[in-house]
A = this chain, B = another copy of it.
Amino acid sequence: MEMNDIECVLEGILFASGEPVPADRIALTLGVPKTDVYQAAHALAHRLEMEKRGIRLVVLGDTLQLCSAPEYADYIRQALEVRKQPQLSQQALEVLAIVAYHQPVTKLVVDQIRGVDSSYTVGLLQDRGLIEACGRLNVPGRPLLYRTTPTFLRAFGIASLEEMPPLPESENGEGDSPEDWVQVKMETPL
């Protein structure tokens, strides 16, 4: 069997499998030495990479596998994503607003401002890459602090946090910044 033929059959077998295939099983099937299979595998891998193709061949120990080219991962994910991502809910927007205006802020503060537990929504916003943990507050329990991310800026079409509309004075009078308020609340022994 010609080396080029081995390459082609190898490609067909690895494609149909999808999973890693032992090199010696391929050698057995084609009736060629295992070294030929490896040689063909390396040649094919090289060619796929050189031509910047959508497929890559990887050698994993004694097995060979085809996989999609990692550089196209974003396109692939986008094209194959079945479930459409839901838009932010009213609650999620509220939590995001609190984090955005009071960052860095703990979940406890978010809970206190909203009056309900916001664990799920905080997790969701983290998952969506809109907020992220950025250290811990130096109080007992060392709770995580959250802040908004560049994804947040992109989603809301602003270049920096300074572009956020200011909170109206009346609603948030001087000296009554939520940080102070929280501070007080946390220090208040129950």
Contact = CB atoms under 8 A, between A and B. Distances in A.
Nearest to A78: B29
Q: How many copies does the complex hold?
A: 2
A17 B81 CA distance: 10
A54 B15 contact: yes
A78 B7 CA distance: 17
A18 B18 contact: yes
A58 B30 CA distance: 26
A69 B8 CA distance: 9
Interface in A1-46: 7-18, 21, 25-26, 29-30
A53 interface: yes
A167 interface: no
Given A15-B66, A66-B15, A9 B72 contact: yes
A32 B30 CA distance: 41
A17 B13 CA distance: 17
B8 A52 contact: yes
Given A30-B75, A75-B30, A11 B53 contact: yes
B18 A54 contact: no
A79 B13 contact: yes
Given A13-B80, A16-B68, 4 more contacts: A12-B75, A13-B76, A13-B79, A26-B79
